[in-house]
Amino acid sequence: MVFDARSSSGSRSRRDATRPAAGRRPRASSAEAADPALTEASESALAEAGDPDEAPVTLRLDGKVALVTGAGSPDGIGYATARRLRDLGARVAIVSTTRRIHERAAELGVTGFVADLTDEAEVGALADAIVDQLGDVEVLVNNAGLASRASPEVLRPVSQLTYDEWKSEIDRNLSTAFLCSRAFQGGMAEQGWGRIVNLAATAGPVNALPTEAAYAAAKAGVVGLTRALAMELVADGVNVNCVAPGTIYTAASTVTEIKQGLGTPIGRPGAPDEVAAAIAFLCSPAASYITGQMLVVDGGNSVREAEFR
In this model, does residue 27 exceed pLDDT 60? no
Q: Which of 28-37, 125-134, 238-247 has the lowest mean pLDDT?
A: 28-37
For residue 52, give the DSSP letter: G
The β-bridge partners of 244 are 296
Whether 258 shows a pLDDT value over 80: the answer reads: yes
Decide if 249 is catalytic: no
DSSP 114-169: E--TT-HHHHHHHHHHHHHHT-S--EEEE------SSSPPP---GGG--HHHHHHH
Cα–Cα distance, 3 to 306 (Å, whole number): 53
Stretch 59-75: mean pLDDT: 97
pLDDT of residue 55: 56
Residue 186 has pLDDT above 80, yes or no: yes
Return phi, psi of residue 304, to 5°: -65, 125
Rounded distance, CA 114 to CA 94, Å?
9
* Residue 80 to residue 86: CA distance in whole angstroms: 10
Kindly report the pTM of this predicted structure. 0.83
Cα–Cα distance list, 163 to 154, 158, 160, 166, 246 (Å) = 12, 10, 10, 5, 27
pLDDT band for position 147 (cuts 50, 70, 90): low
Catalytic residue among 163, 215, 249, 289: 215
| pLDDT value of residue 227 | 98
pLDDT value at position 7?
36
pLDDT class for 154, splitting at 50, 70, 90?
Answer: confident
Contact yes or no for 249/270 (Cβ under 8 A): yes
- For 87-122, give one letter per residue: b (16+ CB within 10 A) or e: ebebbbbbbbbeeebbebbeebebbbbebbbbbeeb
Bridge-based pairing state of the strands 139-142 and 111-114? unpaired
At residue 146 the predicted structure's pLDDT band, cuts being 50, 70 and 90, is low
Residue 256 — pLDDT band, cuts 50, 70, 90?
confident
pLDDT band at residue 221 under the 50/70/90 scheme: very high
Phi, psi for 57 (deg, rounded to 5): -100, 5
pLDDT at 24 over 50: no
- Which pLDDT does position 13 carry in this prediction? 35
**Is the separation of the CB atoms in 279 and 141 below 8 Å?**
yes
The per-residue pLDDT for range 109-122, each reduced to its tens digit, is 999 999 999 999 99
**8 Å CB contact between 287 and 237:** no
Predicted local distance difference test score (pLDDT) of residue 23? 35
pLDDT at 40 over 90: no
Look at residue 15 in the predicted model and tell me its pLDDT: 29
Please tell me the chain's helix, strand, coil percentages from 3-state DSSP, rounded to the nearest 5: 45, 15, 40
Give me the sign of the Cα torsion angle 161, 163, 168, 171: positive
Helix locations, the chain, DSSP H = 30-34, 36-49, 77-87, 101-108, 120-133, 163-170, 176-191, 213-233, 255-262, 272-283
Task: Walk across the sheet containing 111-114 and list its strands.
Answer: 111-114, 91-96, 65-69, 139-142, 194-199, 238-245, 294-297
Output the pLDDT for position 251. Answer: 80
For a pLDDT cut of 90, what percent of the chain falls above it? 72
